[in-house]
Amino acid sequence: MSEIDLEYIRAILKYGSITSASKKIYISQSALSQHIIRIEKKLGVKIFNRDFKPMKLTEAGLIYKKSLEDIEKLKESTLLKIEEINKLKIGELSIGSTDYQTYFFLSKILNEFNKDYPGIKIKLVEAKTDQLNRFARNGICDFAITYETDKYDDLESINLYRENVYLAMSTKNPLKKDLKGKGQIKWVESKKLLGQNIIRMKKGQNLVLQYQELDKFTENSLKTVLETDSIFIAQKCVRENFGLAILPESMLKEERDDLIYFKLKEGLSSRTTMINYCKNHKLKRIANIFIDRLKEYAKEEF
């Protein structure tokens, strides 16, 4: 099956005979006749009834012509879709993100991006931090919004912003009387935290380094009362005065009258949010555009 087959069949039907068609499409009568004979030999049936004037297609010929036309339409549709992809009119972008990053960061640009690229479908892959890095390595997502890592040599990273982390407690916690300093974020000496209840993030989530630092400063005296995958569950439990937790800076942007954020006098390490993607998978054009918007927003907000 080829485009030339359909062109020749249409010409014969339009002009009524092989002789007339050959003159109109500038090919010899014998060449056109031999081409049709080759098709018929290949199919094992006649595609034209030569007893009619003008010539007509046989039943097999009608089926063959319809198949050629279907292929033509499919090819045109395929080329149109490819053109639309090249012009970013359609497509899919798969983004890996934690629920925290989706809520506080990713969601801030999705609406404007959708207005500019309404045909691009965003597929959100939500998981723990260590899972997201694996997803990025394996191409399950185009890129992941995650945190700095030195575990994978095959990941390419783009820094977005650096964020402070703080301890948080309920306004009902007596520890608040030990806070010192001025401004929104006060500080406390680590010895004041000895024996306090602590809400931790489960293994595989970020903030592990900061919890290790906190344990060191408090002589491993903190009592773990809950481990959770969700930073939002940790925050909720702090508000209910179930214990202390380490929470990222972005959460301060949502005012909570029942929460107090504070820092250790010794200080906890900040963390870097970044884009991670596989070095062996070239980023799509639309992925680069989206990442540029993430970088612009991060520059404005942090």
- Residues 157, 290, single domain; the answer is yes
Percent residues over pLDDT 70 in the chain: 98
* pLDDT given for residue 12 in this prediction: 94
Write out the residue range of the structural domain in which residue 194 sits: 165-269
SS3 category, 78: helix
Number of domains in the chain: 3
For residue 281, how far is the Cα from the chain centroid? 14
285: left (phi over 0), alpha (psi -120 to 50) or beta: alpha
Q: What are the pLDDT digits (tens) for 258-278? A: 999 999 999 999 999 999 999
Domain-terminating residue out of 50, 68, 86: 86
Domain-terminating residue out of 33, 63, 86: 86
Q: What are the pLDDT digits (tens) for 133-152? A: 889 988 899 999 998 776 77
DSSP element (H, E) containing 77: helix 59-86
CA distances from 114 to 71, 120, 175, 222, 298 (A): 34, 7, 46, 46, 19
Instruction: Give the model's confidence band at 205: pLDDT under 50 very low, under 70 low, under 90 confident, else very high.
Output: low
> In the Cβ-directed half-sphere of 205, how many Cα atoms lie within 13 Å?
21
Residues 104/252, Cβ–Cβ less than 8 Å: no
Instruction: Give the model's confidence band at 180: pLDDT under 50 very low, under 70 low, under 90 confident, else very high.
Output: very high
- Residues 142, 277, single domain; the answer is yes
- Residues 99, 248, single domain; the answer is no
CATH of the domain at 46: 1.10.10.10
pTM for the model stands at 0.71
Percent residues over pLDDT 90 in the chain: 72
**What is the DSSP pairing of strand 197-201 with strand 244-248?**
parallel
- Residues 240, 119, single domain; the answer is no
